[in-house]
Chain A
């Protein structure tokens, strides 16, 4: 039976997580709303042991060749992340990691083209304890910083190996500044387009000259790795003047420093960008669209409140996400189901709702690609185009077909569970049972009618095991593949 608070908890877990497993719902039911938000945001209280469940009975399985190698094989890395999304007890950490992956969008294919598949996977996905050189791949860095300090995040991403390949920072040197990173840190990571000039782009490129990569050691050393290094000889020591204040006193010029101290230029620019008044507004708008609603205007007072918390907390993402999740706009029932699910959200929520025993996450990878979202492969530096852009005809068909494959895979689990819940008495009782386990937007009357007609089609209703094994997967696919289910 659904408890009165369930609708709110489900909303919270769809947005701050990837939907609710039954055991998650049971855990959260013991909390107040504020307690539930605490449980999500203070996730360090909960052990980070999800990776240890990989390969254990009772969890989703994977399709692997030879040894499971998420630090070296991109398909394994993709499956591990999906596994975390399904089975983690820290859903907000994974959700924010996805947010940051989209925000600092870095694609495997370019890095693969530069340094090969194993190394590309390593710098994107390796966990330090599984890498001979202790490499912390970009995703692990994002995960560690999921609710960390935004300034620290910007420092880490500016020194991230995968990012340095992706936006060419490794080639940014004194005599030939490389503008790619200097532009995107302003346009995509902090202030947003319209708040800087072309000469700012050039100055930012000069600021980051010398922020390159080193790879010491012998080729035979398995621990050998690329790592960020500041090269004083490659740094442009001239003054760099911007169109916006760099220092709290309003000064717009980073004065030239001795080459040995020149790395501080980059730190000064990062501080300026973190401090820029447009930065929390840019991040706030993105978080609002991600967590609260994709439709309607964003209230100016909401953005001001968000900016206030951002500055007051010293750029603490935990504080700002708490502000988002505790805001009246978040809990307004009018915000329920106002966001179109991203393909990974749809896939993971469907797995959590329908079942995972005997399902391989490897079978979700091609469908995800057909839906337009290949993890570790955002289509461009701005990440994925969200909202309606996810819902082309072909990607909608891919969603329907994934629903069909998952429902078929779970045929016996579904039928067994429905029989033990005595749900098969009538088409009406079966539909009510399915919708209880797969909460989604209300179906209009005619659509409910069609779902019931489907259950009554071909043979008279008996509720037999054989009938449930046929009709229940059919019903589940129609529900999971319905437009109503595509909203979170």
Chain B
């Protein structure tokens, strides 16, 4: 008998999904661990966000003289008042949603975050921000170490990574974080149907509950496979989440929708990771033109975040949620020859949520090339850091997650001026 591939697909054999009853034990476990349902969303802006185009010192003449083609005109910024050094600041014009959150007092803008001798490398920089360890950035992530600090057994859905690859910030010693880019695609396929497919899935579930001894790499993969098998049903409940607001049809916004769905369905997840990339704007940064590169970056970010914020508010979950953004570095102050900016130093962090004390934290740089200017470094080329990024993490660990920042960050980075939560 000759059967073509198409007939298989038509018969549903290639992607038949079997459903099982939810494993109640795990759900109970998850609920037990989420006594205080405080959620943390880690947002990574990939590529090194140009902080000076996000939060704009629109009265600094050096900002305009050093960025002749890519400065945002003062008239266009969304003013958010002056910071402690009395520098008036404004958000990028495409951040109208974030401006609303700011006006509601729920968005903290933490200026000039970084660490001494900051690297300009994407990879080392991302690793340092992820591990919170500038001297050895090869280890586990700070969020991973937080997960490791939770009492065992840690439920397989305690963390949710919306990207396909495990970012270093989530790497842990003993807790695996599932990568679920799209809950709708998170299903178990089978070449067979009915009882045969069920037998296959049951076999996969039993096989993957095996724990190999003295084979750590193999055990790691078993851990991933087991987590996949045991989270299928709960994730399926998220796939059907519609949201109370319309989320834009971008990868980033759909990931934010999945996060909101996971919170609404109460599947036990406490830490989420989401990313949006394209911030490595070496050329044609174009922050001023509709559909310019940077305007699109801001628009995409803004539209996903405000949809998420409004959805959670409608669902009554805003007070349980804190979102924190990071990026591996800020960018050079002066624009380069291709209307872009190269890798720089200090960065801007955003923190928002229902219990966040919003406002401007830290002080803006003075962008003048005066050699004695303490807010710049690298011969005035880059913004010098003022607030150690680890002190932002420390605040979140101690005051939001209820963990111990000194243990997780291996040092005391607490900073009493950071009162955003």
Contact = CB atoms under 8 A, between A and B. Distances in A.
A458 B342 CA distance: 63
A263 to B, nearest CB: 18
B37 interface: no
A486 B225 CA distance: 11
A193 to B, nearest CB: 5
A441 B1 contact: no
Of the listed residues B1, B120, B206, B337, the one surrounded by the most CB atoms of chain A closer than 10 A to its CB is: B337
Interface in B223-266: 224-225, 227-228, 231
A187 interface: yes
A220 B391 CA distance: 59
Interface in B320-343: 335-338, 340, 342-343
Interface in A160-181: 167-168, 171-173, 175-180
B124 interface: yes
Given A340-B221, A473-B191, A392 B203 contact: no
Given A201-B120, A391-B224, A392-B224, A477 B191 contact: yes
Chain B facing A: main interface SS: loop
Given A397-B188, A411-B8, A450-B206, A370 B338 contact: no
A400 interface: yes
Interface in B153-173: 156, 161, 164-166, 171
B336 A412 contact: no
B218 interface: yes
Contacts of B370: none
A404 B199 CA distance: 14
With most chain A CB atoms within 10 A of its CB, the pick from B1, B220, B283 is: B283
B119 A193 contact: yes
Taking each of B180, B185, B212, B221, which has the highest tally of chain A beta carbons within 10 Å of its own beta carbon? Answer: B221
Interface stretch (A299-307, A377-385, A424-432): A377-385
A405 B189 contact: yes
A172 B337 contact: yes
Nearest to A181: B282
B28 interface: no
Interface string A362-391: 000000011110000001111011001111
A394 interface: yes
Interface string A18-42: 0000000000000000000000000
B4 interface: yes
Given A394-B180, A405-B15, A451-B203, A486 B282 contact: no
B192 A340 contact: no
Give the most central of A178, A358, A404, A412: most B CB within 10 Å: A404
A372 B167 CA distance: 12
A474 interface: yes
A198 B378 contact: yes
A434 to B, nearest CB: 14
A451 B188 CA distance: 18
Q: What is the interface residue range for chain B against chain A? A: 35 or more
Contact of A450 (B179, B203, B218, B337): B203
A43 to B, nearest CB: 31
A112 interface: no
Contacts of B171: 388
A395 interface: yes
A379 to B, nearest CB: 7
Contact of A390 (B165, B187, B227): B165
A380 B15 contact: no
Interface string B180-200: 110001111111100110011
Nearest to B3: A412
Contacts of A451: 203, 207
B378 A477 contact: no
Contacts of A471: 196
B191 A400 contact: no
B257 to A, nearest CB: 17
A394 B161 CA distance: 9
B178 A392 contact: yes
Given A201-B120, A340-B221, 14 more contacts: A172-B337, A338-B217, A382-B122, A385-B165, A393-B176, A393-B231, A395-B224, A400-B189, A404-B191, A408-B191, A458-B199, A470-B192, A474-B192, A474-B200
20 contacts: A172-B337, A172-B338, A176-B336, A295-B217, A380-B122, A385-B165, A388-B171, A389-B165, A393-B228, A393-B231, A394-B164, A394-B178, A400-B188, A401-B189, A404-B190, A444-B212, A447-B207, A458-B196, A477-B190, A484-B218
Interface of A: 167-168, 171-173, 175-180, 183, 187, 193, 198, 201, 294-295, 338, 340, 358-360, 369-372, 379-382, 384-385, 388-397, 400-401, 404-405, 407-409, 411-412, 441, 444, 446-447, 450-451, 453-454, 457-458, 470-471, 473-474, 477-478, 481-484, 486-487
